[in-house]
Amino acid sequence: MLALGKLLELTLAGHEPAEKTQLTVDGVRLRWLAEGALEVKPPEALDNGTDLLLSAGIHGNETAPIELLDELIQAIAHGELKPCARILFLFGNPEAMRRGERYIEQDVNRLFNGRHEQSSSAEAVRACELERLAATFFSVPDRQRLHYDLHTAIRGSKIEQFALYPWKEGRRHSRRELVRLHGAGMQAVLLQNKPSIVFSAYTYDKLGAESFTLELGKARPFGQNQQVNLTPLKALLNNLIRGTEPLVGDQIDGLKLFSVSREIIKRSDAFKLNLPDDVENFTVLEKGFVLAEDVSSSRWIVEEEGARIIFPNPGVKIGLRAGILIVPTTDEQLR
C-alpha cells in the first residue's frame, strides 16, 4: 500500500510524510496538502466532474467517521477503490484526535465563517486552514461540489443518524440531496433557516457546495464503534467515489424533516438547562415546559407543538448555543 494511504496513522503520530505525492498503479494521484489533509485525483480520462470533500475529526473524540474515512483512503491506496471523482479527505482537529478529546481550547466547529478571526488559539488557526483547503479544492469551476462533514454525538439520540442541512438566503434545499441522505441511512434531516458558524455552513454558503453535517451515532473511543452502523453511508460514499451511484427517484417517504424554531443561547454563568444530564437528542418537550433559565429572570418556555431538543449542552461557553429547539416541517420548500 502507498504510504499516503496511512493518513490516519501519520496524523495520529504527528508525522509529515517524506513523499508528498504518490500514484497508484491505475494512475490515481494522492497528494498530502497539510496535516490531516489528503487530495485524491483520478486520471483525467476517468474524471466525472465531481468534487467530494469528506471531513471527520472536527471533534477529536468522534472516532467512527474517522475510521470510515481511513478505510476509504486505504482502499484507494491499495487500488481496491478506483475513484472517478476528485476527493479531499480532511481530519479536522489532529491534536484533539491524538488526545482523544472533543477539543483542546475551542470547539473547531464554532470557528468558521469568520469566527476564527476573533481568536488566536491553535484551533482558530486550524479552522482558518480548513477554510483555505476547502476553498482551494472547490475553486475549479463547472464541477459538482459536495461536502459531508461526519460527526458522532456526545449523547444518545431518539433518532440515531440524522443530517443538518445549512441555509443561505435565496437558495432552496434540494430534494435530490435528501434522497441521497435517506439512502445513506439518515433517518431525519434538520433544514436550517439561519446562518451558522460550522464547517458545512461555510462550504455551503461561501463555496457553493451541497454540504451537510452528518450525525452518525454516539461518540466512542477508537476500535469501539461496532454498534455504529455506517454500512449504508459507506455504500453511498463508495458509489460517489467510483461514479457508480444508481439512479433513484425523488421520494423521501419515511425521512423525518425538522426546522429550527429557536436556539437556546447561554448568556451567563447563571444559565440553567432544566433537563437531565443524559437527555437524548430529539426528546419531545411538552408545551409550557420551562426549558432554560438565565440571568435577569430570562426564561425559555416551550410554546411550539411537537417541539424537540437537540444538542443540549449547558456547559458551552457564554455566548454559544446550549441547545436547539426544533419542530416538524414539510417538504414544500424543496427544489
Q: Which spans in the chain are helix H?
A: 7-13, 63-78, 94-99, 122-137, 175-183, 199-205, 231-242
Angle at 104 between CA 159 and CA 313, to 5 degrees: 35
Contact 77, 4 (CB under 8 A): yes
The pLDDT of residue 183 is 93
Identical fold, 3-242 and 262-328: no
**β-pair type (161-165, 188-191):** parallel
Domain 3-242: which topology?
Answer: Aminopeptidase (3.40.630)
Domain limits, the chain: 3-242, 262-328
The pLDDT of residue 5 is 95
pTM of this structure: 0.93
The stretches in the chain having pLDDT less than 70 are 221-222, 224, 226
The pLDDT of residue 217 is 82
Question: Which entry of 215, 263, 304, 305 is annotated as an active-site residue?
Answer: 215
27-63: per-residue pLDDT in tens?
Answer: 999 999 999 999 999 999 999 999 999 999 999 999 9
Q: Is 101 part of the annotated catalytic residue set?
A: no
- Residue identified by cell 451567563 is 268
Domain 262-328: which topology?
Answer: OB fold (Dihydrolipoamide Acetyltransferase, E2P) (2.40.50)
